[in-house]
Amino acid sequence: MKEYKYEERTVGKILEHKARTVGGKYFLLHEDLRVTYKEMDENTNKIANSLLRLGVKKGDKVCMIMENSLYFLYSWFALSKIGAVMVAINTALKGSLLRYMIDNSDGSVIVVDGDLIDRLLSIRKEIKKVKTIIIVADHLEEAKGFRSDYIVKQFLELFDDSPKRPACEVHFYDPMSILYTSGTTGPSKGVLLSHAYYYSAASVANHCLRYDEEAVVYSCLPLFHANASMFGALGAMLAEGTFALAKRFSVNTFWNEIRSYKATHTSVVGSIFPPLWRQPPREDDAIHPLKVFNIFPLMPEFEEFEKRFHVKLVTGYGTTEAGVVCMVPFDEKLRPGSCGKPLSIFNVKIFDDHDIELGPKSSGEIVVRGKEPYVQMDGYYNMPEATARACRNLWFHTGDLGYKDEDGYFYFVDRKKDAIRRRGENISSFEVEQVINTHPKVQESAVFAILSELGEDDVKVAVVLRKCEQMKHEELISFCEDRMAYFAIPRYVEFKESLPKSPTLRVEKYKLRDEGITSDTWDREKAGHKLRR
């Protein structure tokens, strides 16, 4: 991989360089589309110049409410060339939270998919900072409700301008995007990320996952989050490889798409692992071109997964604010539960609640500090107090609990807000889930705290069973008794058809906590089940 100088570390400049050196090579594979580096560069120049004519200037915030598509990539790269800031918004949002993100980010322009316009129509009187709406649709019938309030354009109109590079000065330290956190414990925070941050994250992908010019990097995750955009699109670009983009994850099409695109690498979140692993074995499970399968976090069945699908599993640890900070070295054997060692550009430590460093095997908060400039966020946009809290004492506090061993390997324990304390014992919901998910009848589970009448917490688990399976509550409890400490065994069990998830397939535990005890919840104590100790 070419090492770019700092002033060259902008998304737009990298694309321009690749268009000059490997312009005729396919950069993007998406459904039936095939787009070369040169086509990507020239088309994004057209869009960038059109945006300038519409009055979009450096530093302006452009909200993108878009599913995975060629148009998303065109918009992102065009904004990078004029120094405007991409505000990538989760397409599942609507109502007050959507309004909040548009308003909090100071969004003045919105690019929106045609079939998502109704989300904006319902809040059009409340998004007063917005001046222009660009609609990705074949016609503008959907825009009738906006015409009197905004400048409305069709995305295809943006291709009418010059394919020459726009005359804009964009620097590595300029902001590239605002990505919003989940906001499960308070208002969602907009993470302000520079061009250099994007470059650093993509470089990590190249180094740790061994991309090269022959790599076809497949992603089924949404581009409005970091994994697909940085590890996927930009990582493939730095390697002069090819980016294969799926519309979304589907357990029924995942391996077929891998084969169709001839994908060699992929990076996914941990919630994708169980549905893939639980699929009935097939004779062609290992017949595919995939070499490297990057997953966060690593699941207990990782060794069996590698053998069954004949892939190299890689794992690590990171956050949107700090990037990927730990990875298991590619040539080293995976350690159960470990997310690897700190990368060379980061210091990573374990602190107690007073920011005092803890020794090996002691659980505390994972904190991070970069050794190079712009490898972490610039801060939370319009939230100086939240930024100060997260970066107190010169360390970024991740909000995650973990520990390290004597060899310097780090282990994720749980989110601080998801940690459970029962009868004086600390319980990792993550670890309890890992045990329950090994039951052959279980598809997936989510463990969370329920306020106890005795103070502190009791443990509840929501369980999704595999298709056509049935299970008694006592069977699950008996399974847990043989495999975990008695105090961690759930008191409450509820079987569900599915778990609430975000578009990035992360379980939304706050929704389960809000449900609390329902009429379908089984109570171990009321049922009179006595635990074996």
DSSP 193-254: EEHHHHHHHHHHHHHHHT--TT-EEEE-S-TTSHIIIIIIIIHHHHTT-EEEE-SS--TTTH
Non-local CB neighbours of 387 within 8 Å, separated by 6+ positions: 379, 380
- pLDDT tens-digit series, residues 174-198: 999 999 986 544 568 999 999 999 9
Segment 98-102 shows an average pLDDT of 92
- pLDDT tens-digit series, residues 137-187: 876 776 676 767 788 899 999 999 999 999 999 999 999 999 998 654 456
- Domain annotation for the chain: domains and CATH numbers: 38-193 (3.40.50.980), 344-416 (2.30.38.10), 419-523 (3.30.300.30)
Distance from the Cα of residue 317 to its chain's centroid: 12
Banded pLDDT at 419 (limits 50, 70, 90): confident
Collapsed DSSP state (helix, strand, coil) of residue 434: helix
Q: Which of residues 531 and 397 earns the better pLDDT score?
A: 397
Q: Rounded CA gap, 160 and 43, in Å?
A: 10
Give the pTM.
0.85
Q: Rounded CA gap, 110 and 133, in Å?
A: 5
Would you say the C-alpha torsion 235, 240, 246, 247 has a positive or negative sign? positive
If you ran DSSP here, which 8-state letter would residue 280 be given? P
Segment 70-77 shows an average pLDDT of 98
Would you say the C-alpha torsion 204, 208, 214, 216 has a positive or negative sign? negative
* Backbone phi and psi for residue 465, each to the nearest 5 degrees, phi listed first: -85, 155
| Residue 184, pLDDT score | 44
